[in-house]
Structure 1
Amino acid sequence: MTQKIWATGENCNQFNNTKEEMLVKPTLLKKFSGKVHKMAASYTNLIVAFKDNQIESLGANKYKGYLDQNSNTKNDPITKISSGFKHNLLLTKSGKVYAFGNTDSGQLGRTQSNLQTKKPQPFVHDFQNLKVIDILANEYQSLLLFDNGDLYAVGRNSTYVIDPNKKTIKKHTIPEHSALVTELTLISEDVIKISEGNASKHLLYLTNDYTLWGQGTNSNGQLGIKQISHRIPQEIINQPFENKNIKTIFAGYELTLVLDNDGKLYTCGSARSNGFGVKHLNFTKLAFFDDKPVKKACCGSRHTIALTKNNKIYYFGYISNRGTTLIRGRPVELVLPDFNYNEALSISTGVNNFYIYTIEESSIIRDFKQLYVSKDFTDYEINGIQIHKSFVEFRLNCGIEKIEQNLKNYSKEETNNFFMWVYYDHIENCENIEIMCKKFEITNIKKKRLKNDLEKLYKDDDSKDFNLLIKDEDEDEEEEEEKDYDNEEEGNFEEIPVHKFVLLARSGLFREMFKNISKNEQNINQIQDYSRKSIESLEKLIKYFYTDQFEITADDDPELIFEELSDAIDYYQLSDKNNFNLQLNNILEH
């Protein structure tokens, strides 16, 4: 499994050695070995949290280590990260809030100004037995939402987001000290959802009666209301979405997004930012995504990145650095180099950049994971877990009786975690898996990889328990049409040895064929391929099933193989379109 974060836009040089110039194409920022859990970015920060509560901060607030070095937070995982202009907030499952960065932009619950806290520190305020359920590091404020619906803010108030009295505040009559709010201040009640993002001038939130409110400066329509310069909370009405159906609200410098549970995306704000090219002071649905439901969207200062439910990434808006415009106008698809979009990914935005986090699993891992999860064609049970006997024997290199004996004292959950590793290298509990593997004389689980084992297995003809039958090309076509394939004639077929579980895992076509075989024929050791492809091409395909690679020798005909396998994705119902096509195109280079 390979985990990467890609960066595009301005200021990416703060996080690696990239030059100051604008990154027009996605650039690999960093690879990670731990399992990334959460990610958030702002103008000067990129914060990454891992499953074990380690965090890594790149940029202005560099930090790498556990969330709290002084206490055990393993059982209190991070549930959210929010990154502001120069400060960062982290929220755990139990409701604990940690902060680090510069107190001058957001205060972080401290009365001292311009104080740097380089390591995460617990938020210092007494929450009076209330639990924090959401956080927001706005550009100049820190906001906490409690489980009773109270929304509190602290920080710089020069943009008038904080208004505890709900009265019109005129800029020229504000006392000097009001520009800095040093104590948590109640700004609203009965709140159930707050906007995300690092906007500096506005805030949106939803109350428990499903009223949508906005407050702050509205010079470009960021609040989704026609009136300009409203600095007090105001209800946002006449919007084209149902408030009960709101999934996420995201606020940038001069635009706001609303994503609903149906995957529809609504934007408002300046002409250069909202995806329309025309200023919208009210929320307007972006029809571009009508046939491309969105599962996540976020925006920076003037740009938006959207991740659709079929794992496509689109971006629109405006990023400018030293006169260079990166994006503007209608949504455009962003393509990562050599990335299979069937894999997992997530997105985040900074003020003038955006980041994409990818988890790249080989198609082999994904296919065997699906084979295990689906429980189709299982033929044995250990501790209540259904398995494929021949596959498990192969991976553990011993008979089923020994496997059952070694696992007899483990619970169903422990057995399930063990077989997750057996099928697709997933490690839920490393220590426990290592102990169980030692019973099978496996001393290094990191080197015992499924893909490596399958490559070795491909070369072991003696262990192959199945034959794929290929029709003899010399047989007359008229005889072919008249032939009854239920009564196969010897001598008319060539054979390709294979393991049955490889066909089951890798090809939807063969899974369907096996499902259609009657119960009294379940133990057959051969099946015919009806594609009329040459044995030369099918041997290459079978090797691809084991290795995810095509290999061409001097004796092969690359053009024939390419032509015959060009429809293999659809015909054999393969899961990995991108890698297969990449490997297939490489054939022609030979």
Structure 2
Amino acid sequence: MNEIIFFGLNNYPILFKNESNIIKKPIQFKFENENENENENEKQIKQISSSYFSTIFLFKNGKAIEYLNQNPSKIQIENIQKVTVGFLVEAILTIERNVFAKGININTENPNEFINISSLIEDKNDRIIQDIVSGRYSIYLLTLNQNVYGIGSNEDGQLGFDYETLDKTEKPILMMKNVSKIFSGNSSNHVFLLNSNQELFGCGDNYHGQLGLGDSIKEIKIQKLTKIQNIPKGKIIDIQCGNDYSIMLIEDENDEKRKLYSCGFDKNNGLARFKNIKKFTEIKLSLFENDGDILDFSVGNEHTLILTSNSKLIGFGNNEFGQLGKKSLFSSYKSNPIQIKLPKLRFNEDIYNYHVSCGYHKSFFYYSPPPSFSNLEEDLIKLFERKEFCDISFKTENGEIIEAHKLILKYRLNQNQNQIEKLKEIISKKSIKESNQIFEMIYSNNSNINPKLYSEIKKL
């Protein structure tokens, strides 16, 4: 069953018809006509992606609901693996590795119609997509061959080309090769690309120094992918971009502690600096000192949510629309992070099952419990027939369960025997609990479940 907590701007789209336009106290979200007798697996949330005008809820059965204005509608695309929403663009990645997108900068003739943009890539051997990320007006595609393509607006050079000769494109254009990750944001006109050597490159809007290039770079529009120097030491886990700033999550290679760094115009992200910080600088604040590790974080237009391993939800930035879950009207911007008090939750599952997602002026805290299986053999057959690979948590120490996991894994990894053997070697040295966590990470592609274990299987 869904467990979704919402606070912030209840408009464009309207998510609650009987509530005010601004919701400053976290409340539970329910879908219209929610059927309590519906199959639990049909209602579990996998992802929420939201911007100013649109919010998409993706379920673990591969179906999605989109809210535009005040009329929710089912997206008529099956087997959805990921959704991403920008200010005026949307994209959907399917299990078959196709990408469908819509928006004024994607399809001028019919901006409200999803079209297959992956099929527009000139190199037919490069049309298998493994990840998608949205910017404010652009969509970025990472192919299985580790190439990144951009489509949409290039008004700030966010596609890595001269904006005077290419202000937008409705056909994916190659931006960079040998890329492992893409980072941007639903209100961002800048993007970061990380290559396999952990070298970071960026382009786009740099008016407030949000690309972290330092004081030596004076240009406000970076039209060519430029290497970011002086990156903090450690492994880059994630970078999320707001309108005028960027926040980076780094894992220290020595103590595996996760730390946050930011750059850009820090008035908007609430760190009380009120000036442009042009290189990534560690966020050092008392509220973080004893809050455990950072499990998840999300960046909106001008606010940030952080989820810690000791169950704290922390927010900072703009609270004008209640997106920090506070009623106070004395100050729109919170100069220091605050803890957000949530309503009592219906479930008491492991904290690793929880996630946060920031829309433009909206905030979501969501969770769904893992499905329960009464008949292992029967349910495995169903999984194989549907070719669905969702989060599965078997709470048992039965060795046969591990073997069942391996069967699913063969399908998840396309029966790559070399990968399976490597994973078996890792598993043989782990406990049953750790083994189950490894499988959960593979099913969900979620490194937050156990960062330490994830680092061991990242090459898989």
- Note closer, same or farther for the CA distance 1:92–1:140 as it changes in structure 2 (3 Å cut): same
Q: CA deviation at 1:5?
A: 1.9
Match for 1:45 among 24, 44, 54?
Answer: 54
Amino acid at match of 1:274: N
Task: Tell me whether 297-306 or 268-277 shows the greater mean CA deviation.
Answer: 268-277
Task: Give the letter for the 2:245 counterpart.
Answer: L
Does residue 240 of structure 1 match 2:232? yes
Query: Which residue of the partner structure matches residue 304 of structure 1?
Result: 304
Structure 1 residue 203: Cα displacement:
0.8
- Aligned equivalents of 1:20, 1:180: Cα separation in 2: 37
| Structure-2 change in CA distance of 1:296 and 1:385 (3 Å) | closer
1:30-179 to 2 correspondences below 5 Å: 30-31=30-31, 34-60=43-69, 64-65=73-74, 68=77, 73=79, 78-100=80-102, 102=103, 104=104, 106-107=105-106, 110=107, 112-113=108-109, 115-117=111-113, 120-123=114-117, 124-126=119-121, 128-130=124-126, 131-164=128-161, 169=162, 174-175=164-165, 178-179=166-167
Query: Deviation of residue 30 (structure 1)?
Result: 2.0
**Residue pairs, 1:278-289, within 5 angstroms:** 278=273, 279=275, 280-288=277-285, 289=288
Deviation, structure 1 residue 360: 7.0
Q: Give the aligned residue type for 1:122.
A: N
Higher strand residue share: 2
Give the 3-state SS of the residue equivalent to 1:231 in structure 2.
strand
1-side partners of 2:19 and 2:302: how far apart?
A: 22
CA contact (8 A) 2:51 2:85 kept: yes
1: CA distance between counterparts of 2:174 and 2:132? Answer: 14
User: Is structure 2 residue 271 aligned with structure 1 residue 276?
Assistant: yes
Structure 1 residue 254 displacement after superposition: 1.0
Structure 1 partner of 2:317: 317
| Residue 185 of structure 1, CA deviation | 1.2
- Unpaired segments of 5 or more residues in structure 2? 35-39, 252-256, 323-327, 371-392, 406-460
- Secondary structure at 2:222 match in 1: coil
Residues 185-264 of structure 1: matches in 2 within 5 Å?
A: 185-226=173-214, 227-228=217-218, 229-232=220-223, 233-242=225-234, 245-261=235-251, 262-264=257-259
Confirm or deny: 8 A CA contact 1:5 1:356 kept in the other structure.
yes
Deviation of the 1:283 alpha carbon: 1.1
CA–CA distance in structure 2, aligned partners of residues 372 and 189 of structure 1: 39
2:374 aligned with 1:351, yes or no? Answer: no
SS at match of 1:287: coil
Q: Against the structure 1 CA distance between its residues 3 and 326, is the aligned structure 2 distance closer, same or farther, given a 3 Å change threshold?
A: farther
Unaligned runs of 5+ in 1: 362-370, 376-380, 387-411, 415-590
Inter-partner Cα distance in structure 1 for 2:144 and 2:302 = 32
**Identity among equivalent pairs (%):** 23
Question: Match of 1:7?
Answer: 6
Relative to structure 1, is the Cα distance of residues 275 and 115 closer, same or farther in structure 2, using a 3 angstrom cutoff?
closer
Task: Flag the 1:385–1:54 CA change in 2: closer, same or farther, 3 A.
Answer: closer
Q: CA–CA distance in 2 between the matches of 1:240 and 1:337?
A: 37
What is the letter of the counterpart of residue 125 of structure 2? N
CA distance in 2, matches of 1:237, 1:207: 14
Alpha-carbon separation, structure 1, partners of 2:186 and 2:66: 17
The one-letter code of the counterpart of 2:337 is P
What's the offset of the Cα at 1:10? 2.1
State the Cα distance separating 1:201 from its structure 2 match: 1.9
Q: Partner of 1:558 in structure 2?
A: none
1:181 correspondence with 2:169: yes
Aligned-partner Cα distance in 1 for 2:349–2:209: 37
Q: Larger Rg: 1 or 2?
A: 1
- How many residue pairs match? The answer is 349
AA partner of residue 303 (structure 2): H
Report 1:329-408 matches (<5 A): 329-339=335-345, 342=349, 344-359=353-368, 373-375=395-397
Separation in 2, partners of 1:281, 1:22: 33
Query: What is the RMSD of the two structures over their aligned residues, measured on CA atoms?
Result: 3.3
Secondary structure, aligned partner of 1:297: strand
Of structures 1 and 2, the one scoring higher in RCO (CA 8 A, sep 6+) is: 2
**Alignment CA distance shift 1:55-1:328 (3 Å):** same
Distance 1:290 1:194, change over 3 A: farther
What is the match of residue 417 of structure 1?
Answer: none
Deviation of 1:263 (Å): 2.5
The 3 A distance-change label for structure 1 pair 272 and 195 is same
Cα-to-partner distance string for 1:420-470 (whole Å, 9 max, x where unaligned): xxxxxxxxxxxxxxxxxxxxxxxxxxxxxxxxxxxxxxxxxxxxxxxxxxx
Q: Deviations over 1:44-86 (max 9, x none)?
A: 12111112111111234955446536xxx4xxxx332211113
Deviations along 1:356-388, whole A, 9 cap, x unmatched? 113379xxxxxxxxx98354xxxxx9x9689xx
Separation of aligned partners in 1, 2:155 and 2:221: 14
Query: After the TM superposition, which residues 402-421 of structure 1 pair with which residues of structure 2 at under 5 Å, given as runs?
Result: none
The answer to whether the Cα contact below 8 Å between 1:311 and 1:345 also exists between their aligned partners in 2 is no
Distance verdict in 2 for CA 1:359–1:311, change over 3 Å: farther
Question: In the alignment, does 2:261 pair up with 1:266?
Answer: yes
- Offset of residue 4 of structure 1: 2.6
Return the offset for 1:212: 0.8
C-alpha distance in 2, partners of 1:160/1:61? 34
The aligned amino acid for 2:309 is K
> Per residue, is there more helix in 1 or in 2?
1
Displacement of 1:158: 1.8
User: Is this contact kept in 2: 1:41–1:349, CA < 8 A?
Assistant: yes
CA–CA distance in structure 2, aligned partners of residues 188 and 334 of structure 1: 39
Find the aligned partners of 1:148 and 1:384 in 2 and give their Cα distance. 36
